[in-house]
Homo-oligomer: A and B are copies of this chain.
Amino acid sequence: MTHPLFSRHEVTLQKALAAIETRGYWSPFSEMPSPKVYGETASADGEAAFKAHLNRAFQLDQPATGDTIGSEASPFGFALGIRYPRSEPDQLITAAASAQKRWREAGPTAWVGVSLEILARLNRASFEIAHSVMHTTGQAFMMAFQAGGPHAQDRALEAVAYAWDQLRRIPATAYWEKPQGKNPPLAMHKRYTIVPRGTGLVLGCCTFPTWNGYPGLFADLATGNTVIVKPHPGAILPLAITVRIARDVLREAGFDPNVVMLLATSPDDGALVQTLAQRPEIRLIDFTGSTQNGTWLERHAVQAHVSTEKAGVNQVVIDSANDIKAAARNIAFSLALYSGQMCTAPQNIYIPRDGVRTADGTLSFDDTAAAIASAVEKLVADPARAVEILGAIQNDGVMRRIDEARTLGRVLVDSGTLEHPQFPEARVRTPLLLQLDAAKDATTFTHEWFGPIAFLIATDSTAQSLELAGSIARDHGALTLSVYSTDDAVIDAAHEASIQGGVALSINLTGGVFVNQSAAFSDFHGTGANPAANSALTDAAFVANRFRVVQSRVHVEPKTPTAEVGQTA
């Protein structure tokens, strides 16, 4: 009954189940791109595999029209020239339906076993995927490797573990015996069949195609659904490689590979995607992207269970600090990392206009702002080092937003252009830091300015800072909140604000952990409790509605003899 691929990966699965329960540190996928772990030739092989994709047609043996599609360009300054097969949504819906029955009948250990085998293969392809993530998203290589490879695989495994944790609670059969006093008991044999919802649609984003795309993909697969993966038109390759590997595993395991298919689209295919998202066959949608598109799906794709991650306003409250320079360095790194193009990057940094208490006395607002500004400037002073943190700007929209933002307030640090040593055509921009005032700039800072744009906002007090943090998270969404304080009462108030805002809180980060980072198996990414996301990665709610249970019952002979029942009744 247990599928061999389940048995092969069961030890890993058991460890993942233990990890989501204790939520300590754990990962089966090494985040260091080390030859010792991945093999001596893995790095060179992965880069070669990536380069072999360029300027040719991507082979994928799925239902397609015969046409091709694709216009990806590396933010590091060159066109990828990859053409993907174009498929009609109708073709994919039909093929998914035809793949469904056999996949559904294979049952939970097959779904989970195949999912885990796909993950093991993806891990081996981490270098190829890292280069493909780098040259679609603009992430520097190390981040592309970690976030696009092992960390994304961790999040996928987490989703599989949560799915299995729910699936295993449904018994396959039950014996039900109801006493009837002195009469024979009523006895029934019951059978419980896990039934997947149907076809899932995973809508990827252009900044973290695998990290944000994998949880929905693997939650769908592990609960027996078929999946159509529609990447962002600007970041198709990482998910195309993923789909190809998934199809290889499915085929080898004897399943119709059309359990997982790719829908490559062009930027003007929005209407096509909206039509697809409302098809009755699409029962699950996982989306990462704009608030506009996410909210549209929540309101219109009512036939589906829709999980969204949308825009938010991440915030930092500075109240007091023993070592303001360490705080400033940590914040500066968070602002610079991948040029602020992270859904977790801070944007609003609240500082009391009367200054910040430190071990050396009160530091004025201006001096606090200067400390952060200086930390940012130092971080990007050496272009060769800076580009490995900043990466490149993913798209022209972010470039335009930087220009637009410059006029919003007093510029504390201007955004500059850096030349990338390896990629002279890369779009590299340093963070823009502006000074705003809580009293008059709320229309500016209550929405997201996605990219390397941050505001140092003067407030009347830490109480006002926390009030803003809680209410903005609640009303406009947020994935992260960070507080710096040496005062326990302020930390308590920050906890309360984080609960009001439904947002995860980081406290006094001055070392090697950054507010942008979210560790699988330990940190819930998003809460589902504010407008930035209607679900969390990953919890029971993320997986529980991806399958249903259909039962049967039939009378059987009672196990308890009637005489005995009579005696004990």
Chain A 522-569 interface residues, beta-carbon cutoff 8 Å to B? 522-524, 527-529, 536, 539-541, 544-545, 548-555
* A540, B166: Cβ atoms closer than 8 Å: yes
A50 to chain B, nearest CB (A): 28
Q: Is A178 among interface residues, defined by CB-CB distance under 8 A? A: yes
Among the 9-residue stretches A58-66, A86-94, A187-195, the one with 4 or more Cβ atoms under 8 Å from chain B is: A187-195
Among the 9-residue stretches A17-25, A390-398, A449-457, the one with 4 or more Cβ atoms under 8 Å from chain B is: A17-25
- Given A23-B176, A536-B549, is A555 in contact with B523 using a C-beta cutoff of 8 Å? no
- Given A197-B529, A548-B502, A550-B505, is A519 in contact with B178 using a C-beta cutoff of 8 Å? yes
Interface string of A165-205 (1 = CB under 8 A from B): 11001010011111110000010101111010100000000
Q: Is A253 among interface residues, defined by CB-CB distance under 8 A? A: no
A101 to chain B, nearest CB (A): 9
The chain B residue with its CB closest to the CB of A173 is B23
The chain B residue with its CB closest to the CB of A178 is B25
* A554, B190: Cβ atoms closer than 8 Å: no
* B24, A177: Cβ atoms closer than 8 Å: yes
* A506, B552: Cβ atoms closer than 8 Å: yes
- Given A24-B176, A522-B190, is A195 in contact with B555 using a C-beta cutoff of 8 Å? no
Select which of B186, B527, B539 is within 8 A of A512 by beta carbon. B186
CA A171 to CA B19, docked complex, whole Å: 11
User: Do most interface residues of chain A lie in helix, strand or loop, or is the interface mixed?
Assistant: mixed
Q: Is A212 among interface residues, defined by CB-CB distance under 8 A? A: no
A369 to chain B, nearest CB (A): 24
Interface string of A222-236 (1 = CB under 8 A from B): 000000000000000
Q: Is A143 among interface residues, defined by CB-CB distance under 8 A? A: no
Select which of B174, B180, B539 is within 8 A of A549 by beta carbon. B539
A319 to chain B, nearest CB (A): 14
- Given A171-B21, A498-B552, is A512 in contact with B180 using a C-beta cutoff of 8 Å? yes
* B545, A528: Cβ atoms closer than 8 Å: yes
How many chain A residues touch B (Cβ–Cβ < 8 Å)?
Answer: 64
List 23 A–B pairs whose Cβ atoms lie within 8 Å, in order of A's numbering: A23-B171, A23-B174, A23-B190, A24-B174, A176-B522, A178-B519, A193-B499, A195-B529, A197-B529, A495-B552, A499-B550, A502-B548, A502-B550, A507-B553, A507-B554, A508-B555, A510-B555, A524-B549, A527-B549, A540-B540, A540-B544, A541-B544, A544-B544
A181 to chain B, nearest CB (A): 9
Interface string of A290-331 (1 = CB under 8 A from B): 000000001100100000000000000000000000000000
Interface string of A474-499 (1 = CB under 8 A from B): 00000000000000000000010011
Interface residues of A (CB under 8 A from B): 21-25, 104, 165-166, 169, 171, 174-180, 186, 188, 190-193, 195, 197, 298-299, 302, 495, 498-499, 502-513, 519, 522-524, 527-529, 536, 539-541, 544-545, 548-555
Total copies of the chain: 2
The chain B residue with its CB closest to the CB of A27 is B178
The chain B residue with its CB closest to the CB of A180 is B512
* A504, B548: Cβ atoms closer than 8 Å: no
Most buried by B among A302, A523, A540: A540
- Given A504-B551, A548-B529, A550-B502, is A22 in contact with B541 using a C-beta cutoff of 8 Å? no
Determine the chain B residues whose CB is within 8 A of the CB of A24 once the complex forms: 174-177
Starting from the known contacts A190-B522, A498-B550, A536-B549, 8 additional A-B residue pairs (CB-CB under 8 Å) come to: A22-B174, A25-B176, A166-B540, A299-B302, A504-B552, A527-B550, A540-B544, A544-B544
CA A52 to CA B204, docked complex, whole Å: 62
